[in-house]
């Protein structure tokens, strides 16, 4: 979603309003894909748009004022939570399907059974209700953002050299970027061992929020934004893969425990009888994958507290501050 450079010189309220309205349009388009024939990445794309919108509204809550209600943010949060399990099931099913061929033939039945279990969990997700909640929030937000023109937008609309003392969207955005970059650094500093996967996931969330602030700037300020977005995407991918591996190990362990909890008479002679060794093998593979990914994270990110990611981000903040001060 490109941002017109002129918006950077307007008020924080007007800049935030422009970004929010554009994100609502994007999210509506992706929501419509969930109504039609199944597309492999439709749910993922919709979740990304919803997260980006919610993150933007939270970051600019104060300038947007009454245009953003708690009720609308709650609706978007429920959409994220409701679609999370379905997305996790999709990702895990794809990974299990990918590694099934490397398992001994006797263990492949466990992989097939697990994929069926995950597919059932995905089908049971109430996407219709999630879409209803999203559209209700989008309609409400659009009405308020269209109706409530930001008070500051009636001020100076000229460039940064106009001599106005009013804060611009560029300056406000630079402040938020620096604050969010500090949050990412703080989260990464708390990740010490492979057992800190939940803390690493927290760092991933904070990194996403930082990327969502910068992404609209890729055309507005030129070169500085592009390497920052790419660096954040690399961090997000690494942390995301680590989180997926951690969730895979947990989900497989729960599936194995469900099978082991079945009464012996129910298991004997049934399909469940041969699943335990295969599920244990899958659990070991997921654990090994998580360990390898954490080793990469330690070397590539934690050793420098994410300097390769944070430095280009601070360059974006500096470019915005230079624009705000007319230099």
Indicate the domain borders of the chain: 1-84+125-150, 168-327
Taking alpha carbons only, the member of 279, 236, 281 closest to residue 260 is 279
Whether residue 23 contacts residue 48, with contact meaning beta carbons closer than 8 Å, is answered with no
CATH architecture entry for 1-84+125-150: Up-down Bundle (1.20)
Please give the Cα distance from 234 to 207 (Å, whole number): 10
Find, among 223, 213, 221, 143, the residue nearest to 180 by Cα: 213
Q: 164 with 155: CB under 8 angstroms?
A: yes
Contacts of 206 (CB under 8 A, 6+ apart): 180, 183, 184, 187
Q: Which residue has the tokens 């009636």?
A: 154
In order along its 327 residues, the chain shows pLDDT tens digits of 667 888 999 999 999 999 999 999 999 999 998 876 667 788 889 999 999 999 999 999 999 999 999 999 999 999 988 888 878 888 899 999 999 999 999 889 899 989 888 877 666 556 788 899 999 999 999 999 998 655 444 334 444 434 445 799 999 999 999 999 999 999 999 999 988 988 999 999 999 999 999 998 877 766 679 999 999 999 999 999 999 999 999 999 999 888 888 765 554 555 566 788 899 999 999 999 999 999 999 999 999 989 999 999 999 999 999 998 885
Residue identified by tokens 């406000």 is 172
Instruction: Single out the residue of 58, 304, 315 nearest to residue 185, CA to CA.
Output: 304
CA of 284: how far to CAs of 130, 288, 292, in Å? Answer: 35, 6, 12
H-type alpha helices, 34-152: 42-59, 61-64, 70-99, 108-124, 127-147
Smallest CA-to-CA distance from 251 within 99, 96, 100, 83 is with: 96
């Amino acid at each position: 979603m490109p941002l017109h450079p002129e918006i950077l010189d307007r008020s924080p309220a007007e800049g935030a309003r422009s970004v929010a309205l554009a994100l609502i349009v994007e999210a509506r388009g992706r929501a419509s894909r969930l109504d039609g024939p199944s597309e492999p990445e439709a749910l993922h794309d919709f979740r990304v748009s919803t997260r980006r919108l919610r993150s933007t509204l939270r970051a600019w809550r104060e300038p947007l004022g009454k245009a953003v209600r708690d009720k609308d943010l709650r609706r978007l949060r429920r959409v994220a939570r409701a679609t999370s399990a379905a997305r996790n099931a999709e990702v895990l099913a794809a990974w299990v399907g990918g590694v099934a061929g490397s398992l001994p033939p006797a263990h492949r039945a466990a992989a097939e059974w697990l994929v069926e279990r995950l597919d059932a969990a995905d089908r049971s997700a109430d996407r219709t209700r999630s879409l209803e909640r999203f559209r209700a929030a989008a309609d409400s937000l659009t009405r308020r953002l269209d109706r409530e023109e930001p008070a500051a937008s009636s001020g100076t609309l000229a460039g940064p050299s106009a001599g106005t003392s009013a804060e611009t969207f560029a300056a406000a955005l630079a402040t938020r970027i620096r604050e969010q970059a500090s949050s990412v650094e703080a989260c990464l500093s708390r990740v010490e061992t492979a057992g800190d996967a939940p803390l690493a996931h927290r760092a991933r969330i904070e990194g996403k929020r930082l990327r969502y602030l910068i992404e609209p700037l890729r055309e507005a300020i030129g070169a500085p934004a592009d390497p920052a977005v790419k660096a954040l995407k690399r961090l997000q991918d690494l942390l995301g893969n680590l989180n997926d591996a951690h969730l895979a190990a947990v989900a497989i362990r729960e599936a194995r425990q469900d099978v082991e909890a079945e009464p012996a008479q129910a298991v004997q002679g049934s399909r469940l009888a041969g699943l335990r060794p295969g599920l244990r093998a899958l659990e070991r593979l997921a654990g090994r994958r998580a360990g390898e990914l954490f080793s990469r994270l330690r070397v590539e990110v934690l050793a420098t507290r994410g300097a390769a990611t944070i430095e280009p981000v601070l360059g974006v903040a500096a470019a915005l501050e230079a624009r705000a001060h007319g230099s």
